[in-house]
Amino acid sequence: MHRIGKLGALTAVVVLVGAVVGVALAGRDGDQDKDATVYAASSLRDAFPKIGDATFSFAGSSELQRQIEAGAPADVFASASPDEAQALFRGGSCTRPVTFATNVLVLLVPRDNPGRVRSVYSLRSGGHRLAVGASEVPIGDYTRTVLADMHLSSILSSNRVSQETDVANIVSKVALGTAEAGFAYVTDAKIASGRVRTIALPRWAQPLVRYQICRVRRSGGGTAPADEFIERVVGAEGRRILRAAGFGLPR
C-alpha cells in the first residue's frame, strides 16, 4: 500500500506536468490563428491597441530590434525611426517597411514646473534634472539632432541627465516630478496630459520623425493576422486613430 502510494504520487505529478505542457503548447498553436504579435515603439502604446486586437510588446525601438534579431516571436514590427525597421529589412528579417506616421518632439515639464523651465534655453543654465533618450533609441537620437541644430548640445553635459531606453520612462519621470524636464513626443504629452506641461520646440529645429511598420518573417505561422493588422494601421481607421492621438500622417 505504501509503495503504491509513492508510485501513484509520482505518476500523478508526471501526468500533471505533461498535461500543463501539452495545454500550453496546444494553446500556442491555437493563438497563431487568431492574433498577431506586434512589437511596437513605446510611443505607440496608447494608439495601437485602439487600432486592433493583437498581443503587444511596447519598448524602445532599438531594444525590440535586438529582440527580434535574437529570435523573438514577433509578427509585426513598428519602429519610431526608419533605422531599426530598415536594419531588419536589410538583414532579411522582415518585409519592406512602410512609413505610416510622423511625430513631433516637445519638451515636457511637470505640471507645477519645479525647475522653472520656460523654454529649451532655460536648460542652458545647467543643474537641472533632465530625462532624455539614450543615444541608441530613436527619441534619444532625435533629441540630440534637435539640440545640435539649435547649438544646445551643451545642455546634455551641464545638466544632470538620465538616459532612458524607453520614452515612456521619460514621461513618467517628468510626470512624477523626478525629472524637471524631459524630451519626448507630442503624442506622449497627450497621454500624460494632466500631469505634464508641454513646451514647444521651434519648428525649424524639428527632425524628420518617421514611423515605419513591417511584417516580420518567421517560420511556422500564417501571415494573415500580421497582414491584417498592418492593413488596419495604414488604412482609414488606423489613420483616424493615429491623428486623434497626435501623430502626423504621411501623404
Partner 1 sequence: MGRAAFSALLALCAGISLTFLALPLVALFVETPLGDVPDLLGDPVMRDIIAVTARTNAIANALILLFGTPTAYLLATRRFRGRSLLVTLVELPLVLPPAVAGIGLLAAFGAGGLFGDELQDAGIVLPFTEWAVVLAVTFVASPFYVRQAISAFESVDPLLPAASRTLGAGPARTFWRVSLPLAAGGLVAGWVLAFARGIGEFGATIVFAGNVHGETQTLPLGIYEQLEANFDLALAIGVLLVILSGSILLTYKLVATWRVSNSTSLSPFALTRSRSS
**Secondary structure of residue 135 in the 3-state scheme:** coil
Residue 42 carries which side chain, given as an amino acid letter?
S
Asked if 184 is part of the footprint of partner 1 (rule: CB under 8 A), the reply reads no
Tell me how far, at minimum, the Cβ of 216 lies from partner 1, in Å. 18
Asked if 78 is part of the footprint of partner 1 (rule: CB under 8 A), the reply reads no
Nearer to partner 1, 68 or 245 (CB): 68
Asked if 176 is part of the footprint of partner 1 (rule: CB under 8 A), the reply reads yes
Nearer to partner 1, 165 or 198 (CB): 165
Q: Given candidates 131, 186, 209, 216, which one binds partner 1 under the rule CB under 8 A?
A: 131
Q: Which residues lie across from 215 on neighbouring strands?
A: 76
Q: How many chain residues touch partner 1 (CB under 8 A)?
A: 27
Tell me how far, at minimum, the Cβ of 179 lies from partner 1, in Å. 7
Q: Which three cell numbers stand for residue 94?
A: 522582415
Residue partners of 8: CB distance under 8 A and separation at least 6: none
Asked if 113 is part of the footprint of partner 1 (rule: CB under 8 A), the reply reads no
Q: Which residues lie across from 58 on neighbouring strands?
A: 40
Q: Which three cell numbers stand for residue 49?
A: 491597441
Asked if 11 is part of the footprint of partner 1 (rule: CB under 8 A), the reply reads no
d(CA 8, CA 30): 32
Residue 19 carries which side chain, given as an amino acid letter?
A
d(CA 60, CA 56): 13
d(CA 236, CA 39): 21
d(CA 125, CA 117): 10
Among the residue ranges 31-39, 99-107, 143-151, 175-183, the one whose residues contact partner 1 (CB under 8 A): 175-183
Among the residue ranges 40-48, 92-100, 158-166, 212-220, the one whose residues contact partner 1 (CB under 8 A): 158-166
Asked if 125 is part of the footprint of partner 1 (rule: CB under 8 A), the reply reads no
Positions that interact with partner 1 (CB under 8 A): 3, 6-7, 10, 60, 62-63, 66, 110, 114, 129, 131, 134-137, 160-165, 173, 176-179
